[in-house]
Amino acid sequence: MAKGSKSVFFCQSCGYESTKWMGQCPGCGEWNTFVEEIIDTKKPAGARRTKTDAKPVKLSEINMSGERRITTNIEELDRVLGGGVVPGSLTLVGGDPGIGKSTLLLQVCRNLSLNGKKVLYISGEESLSQIKLRAVRIGDFNGNLELLCETNLGVIHEVIKRQKPDIAVIDSIQTMYNEEVSSSPGSVSQVRESTAVLMQIAKGLGISIFIVGHVTKDGNVAGPRVLEHMVDTVLYFEGERHASYRILRGVKNRFGSTNEIGVFEMQHNGLMEVKNPSEYMLEGKPEGASGSIVTCSMEGTRPILIEIQALVAPSNFGIPRRTTAGTDFNRVNLLMAVLEKRAHLNLSASDAYVNIAGGIKMNEPAIDLGILLAIVSSYRDIVISDKVVAFGEVGLSGEVRAVNMADQRVREVKKLGFETVILPAVSMRSIKRESQMKFVPVKNISDAIRFIV
């Protein structure tokens, strides 16, 4: 080990620092996340206390008239960002390999450059010719988009200061390295220090910067958890790599809501927006099949209709099997226990499989009633009408509790041609009655089961 350097262990999940290796991190409680890195302990020559003329400013003196969001002309992305890109913001975009992170950001660069914004796309993973191949597939570009293949953060800093773009994209943060940090690119120290430099550039020069971040097998952005705390916005791209749809979800947003989602479909010419996700999710719904029902979930201010499928079959083993796809496994077990206790259904001798069609993941409590009715429908082999939608939260006593934004859910149901809505009785007072709709208010699961039977 070189003189003036020492060995330090970092937690890859939260960035906790230790002088020795530990099996469990005291900071976040994760196991086997410590990695060893060599850091330089030399202080820069001539380091001294900085003198500054900085003075605090009163809140009432701050003028926000010039701070307008930059629209990307991609409505799904603008919704997740809270209305557009905030000047001087630092946004982290994470997702599985091949999910479409680079494609989405290249489309954003294209739209912004066509709107007259000066855009700089910096890639540490692809060559200029490879980026050109992807750009030709997306569409026409103009001269306001500039490309740079570089991984040295010092060089990138100088180029950004010289070019002064409105928007900069870093693809990806794991390939960047700072010469002042002795560890290799992608390590905890490099990712943390590189992000700190980019944050200073964004805030100091007022440049909006997008960072692409690789994810681990657990679905989290690779590197220390402090990375997500440093940036202004964290977006995750979700969906199966081989499926056509993609969901952009905001996990953190200092300038807007974190409940909004954007839905995209991967096509040969890039990512296309899905304007009506409900209609997209219900395509191919089976007719006359038991164990299938449509429910309504809210993602931020957007209602989405999804199909819940359940299959209940006699178990061939002593322990029944439970499998879920797209929803919480423990929540399904809880609902089946409620059915056994409150509705007196003998499910302990049956295997149960619950699936949200389309591969989308939903964990909102409002889909409880839909899951429960789908299980009952399959268990008793009863076909629920294709014109019925059910939503509501189910409690342990079997009561059906109120859900938020019930009126918005009903409007979405009506728009797609459904005729009957099974909903909590306490939510009726927040709904504007529609003459064409039939409402079935229920107080407990017995009322709901009695209607479908």
pLDDT digits (tens, 9 = 90+) for 94-149: 888 888 899 999 999 999 999 999 999 999 989 999 999 988 888 888 878 999 99
Confidence of residue 64 (pLDDT cuts 50, 70, 90): low
Q: Which residues are within 8 A (CB) of 66 and not within 5 positions of it... i.e. 6 or more apart?
A: none
Q: Which residues of 159-198 are buried (b: 16+ CB within 10 A; e: fewer)?
A: bbeeeebbbbbbbbbbbbbbeebebebbbbbbbbbbbebb
- Same domain (yes/no): 330, 256: no
* 391 lies in some domain: yes
Is pLDDT above 70 for 42?
Answer: no
> What per-residue confidence (pLDDT) applies to 4?
58
- Is the distance from CB of 169 to CB of 89 less than 8 angstroms? no
- Same domain (yes/no): 443, 351: yes
Give the CA angle between residues 324, 329, 335 to the nearest 5°.
100
- Same domain (yes/no): 342, 289: yes
Provide the token pair at 110.
């294209």
44, with CB counted inside 10 A (0-12, 13-18, 19+), is exposed
- Same domain (yes/no): 305, 428: yes
> What per-residue confidence (pLDDT) applies to 279?
85
Flag whether 15 is marked binding. Answer: no
**DSSP calls for 286-307:** -SS-TTEEEEEEEETTEEEEEE
DSSP state of 221: B
Is pLDDT above 70 for 331?
Answer: yes
Is pLDDT above 70 for 238?
Answer: yes
Is pLDDT above 70 for 242?
Answer: no
- Is the distance from CB of 310 to CB of 371 less than 8 angstroms? yes
> What per-residue confidence (pLDDT) applies to 17?
83
Flag whether 387 is marked binding. Answer: no
* 420 lies in some domain: yes
Q: Omega into 13 within 30° of 0, i.e. cis?
A: no
Tell me the mean pLDDT in the region 46-52: 57
* 63 lies in some domain: no
Domain termination site, one of 234, 254, 275: 275
Flag whether 101 is marked binding. Answer: yes
Using CA atoms, how far apart are residues 248 and 250, in angstroms rounded to an integer?
7
Tell me the mean pLDDT in the region 294-303: 89
3-state secondary structure of 393: strand
Domain termination site, one of 231, 248, 275: 275
> What per-residue confidence (pLDDT) applies to 172?
85
Is pLDDT above 90 for 91?
Answer: yes
* 58 lies in some domain: no
- Same domain (yes/no): 436, 338: yes
* 53 lies in some domain: no
Flag whether 441 is marked binding. Answer: no
- Same domain (yes/no): 221, 247: yes
Using CA atoms, how far apart are residues 448 and 400, in angstroms rounded to an integer?
9
- Same domain (yes/no): 264, 117: yes
- Is the distance from CB of 73 to CB of 109 less than 8 angstroms? no
Is pLDDT above 60 for 34?
Answer: yes
* 418 lies in some domain: yes
Tell me the mean pLDDT in the region 163-173: 93
Q: Which of the pair, 330 or 216, is modelled with greater confidence?
A: 330
265, with CB counted inside 10 A (0-12, 13-18, 19+), is middle
Q: Is the dihedral of CA 114, 115, 118, 119 positive or negative?
A: negative
Confidence of residue 435 (pLDDT cuts 50, 70, 90): low
Helix axes 368-379, 445-452, angle to 10 degrees: 50
Is pLDDT above 90 for 49?
Answer: no
Tell me the mean pLDDT in the region 297-308: 89
Flag whether 95 is marked binding. Answer: yes
- Same domain (yes/no): 230, 288: no
- Same domain (yes/no): 307, 271: no
Flag whether 100 is marked binding. Answer: yes
> What per-residue confidence (pLDDT) applies to 2?
55
Using CA atoms, how far apart are residues 365 and 294, in angstroms rounded to an integer?
15
Which domain covers residue 251, as residue numbers? 73-275
How many distinct structural domains can be found in the chain?
A: 3
Which of 55-59, 88-92, 185-189, 230-234 is the least confident region? Answer: 185-189
Using CA atoms, how far apart are residues 346 and 332, in angstroms rounded to an integer?
15
- Same domain (yes/no): 235, 179: yes
> What per-residue confidence (pLDDT) applies to 341?
94
Using CA atoms, how far apart are residues 247 and 57, in angstroms rounded to an integer?
41
* 101 lies in some domain: yes
Domain termination site, one of 275, 295, 324: 275
> What per-residue confidence (pLDDT) applies to 121?
95
Q: How many CB atoms lie within 10 A of CB 209?
A: 27
> What per-residue confidence (pLDDT) applies to 256?
87
- Same domain (yes/no): 252, 309: no
> What per-residue confidence (pLDDT) applies to 28?
81
Q: Residue 381 corresponds to which amino acid?
A: D
Tell me the mean pLDDT in the region 59-66: 73
Is pLDDT above 70 for 405?
Answer: yes
> What per-residue confidence (pLDDT) applies to 385?
93
Confidence of residue 239 (pLDDT cuts 50, 70, 90): confident
pLDDT digit string (tens) for 198-222?
999 999 999 999 999 877 655 566 5
CATH number of the domain to which 428 belongs: 3.30.230.10
Using CA atoms, how far apart are residues 343 and 399, in angstroms rounded to an integer?
11
Tell me the mean pLDDT in the region 422-429: 94
- Same domain (yes/no): 245, 312: no
- Is the distance from CB of 237 to CB of 93 less than 8 angstroms? yes
* 54 lies in some domain: no
Say how many residues make up the chain.
453
| Residue found by looking up tokens 């020492």 in the block | 6
The mean pLDDT value of the chain amounts to 87
Confidence of residue 183 (pLDDT cuts 50, 70, 90): confident
Q: In what order do the strands lie in the sheet with 420-424?
A: 322-325, 350-356, 302-314, 292-299, 388-390, 420-424, 438-442
> What per-residue confidence (pLDDT) applies to 76?
92
Is pLDDT above 90 for 225?
Answer: no
Quote the percentage of the chain above a pLDDT of 90: 54
> What per-residue confidence (pLDDT) applies to 231?
93
